[in-house]
Amino acid sequence: MERELIVRPIQGEERENWDQLMADHHYLGLKHLVGESIRYVALLNGQWVALAFAGPAPLTKAAPGTIGSAGMKTPATSA
């Protein structure tokens, strides 16, 4: 039997279900996601089998008074 695995961003109407599943099953629960984030669902043969999320990576230079401006290496200052 052939299996089809698809990982995709959730659709708007799936948000409540995704949030509830994450709150119920993740060991830290779901308090809130910080900043802009994308929620993903993995489907195996059309059934939800995994949840994931991703937030933005720092792509800008550090502002004065922040960790990166004090000479510490961050992704934004190490280039």
pTM value is: 0.63
Q: pLDDT class for 69, splitting at 50, 70, 90?
A: very low
Residue 74: pLDDT above 60?
Answer: no
- Percent of residues, the chain, with pLDDT higher than 90: 37
pLDDT at res. 59:
59
DSSP code per residue over 4-64: -EEEEEPPGGGHHHHHHHHHHHSTT------SS-EEEEEEETTEEEEEEEE-PPP-SPPPT
pLDDT digits (tens, 9 = 90+) for 26-64: 877 777 777 778 889 999 999 999 998 887 666 556 556
Residue-range domain boundaries for the chain: 5-70
- Percent of residues, the chain, with pLDDT higher than 70: 68
